[in-house]
Structures are given as C-alpha cells and as structure tokens.
Amino acid sequence: MVGWTTDWKLGVAILIGYAILAISRIFHLNDKPPVLNWRSAVWLPPYLIGMGIIVYVSTFGPGGWLHLWWDMLVVAVFSMIIYFWAMQVGLPAEQIEEMISEVVLPEEEGLAAPEHTEGR
C-alpha cells in the first residue's frame, strides 16, 4: 500500500498549497501577486481527485479491486480525457509567450542582458 500512503500525503500537501495561495490573495501578502487564469486550470482538481480515486481502488490502495493492467487502462483513458479537456481550456501559445517574457528573476533585476557567446 505504498502508493496510497504516498498519494494521500501528496494530496494534503497540494491542499496546503491551495490554502497558502488563497490566504496570500485574500490578505494581499504579495505586493506583486501572480496573474492566475482559473479557467485554464479548471481541469487540475478533477484530475488530482480522479487519480486519487483510481489509486485508492487499485491494488496500490486499500480498495484493491482494480487489478494490474485494468488500472493502467483506466489511468490511460482517464488521462486522455483530461488531456483533451486541458487542451481546450488552455491559454493560447501567444499569451504564454508574453507571460514568460514578462518574468524577471530577482538575481537579474538591474542587470544588463547577458551577451551570447557562440561555442559555449
């Protein structure tokens, strides 16, 4: 039951992360809060919950009735459904590129752009 023992702890860690994010937003703890597009991440909670259920009912969890090979089939089908859903609600590539270009690392603030040297 190593799979379930690990998975439920990861689930709790993810919930703690969501709580920290919510508290940070509610109490304005970050002077420059990240831009969050909730619509493009709507698939994530169902995926995490679904995978948790699959592990729980598999032979890696206390349920134990979804046996080897069948569990892999269920994970593959479930993951493909989530993948296509995520692709439908995901951000356009142009918006992602724009968001990446706006990121400035703390160690890069105030520094000139590094020169590229061929052969390095």
* Domain spans of the chain, in order of start: 2-91
Q: Which amino acid is at 115?
A: E
Looking at residue 77, its pLDDT comes to 97
Q: Which residues are within 8 A (CB) of 51 and not within 5 positions of it... i.e. 6 or more apart?
A: 7, 75, 78
Cβ atoms of 19 and 12 closer than 8 Å:
no
Place of tokens 């698939």: 43
Looking at residue 79, its pLDDT comes to 97
**Average pLDDT per 10 consecutive residues for the chain, totaling 120 residues:** 78 91 86 79 92 87 83 94 95 88 74 54
pTM score: 0.68
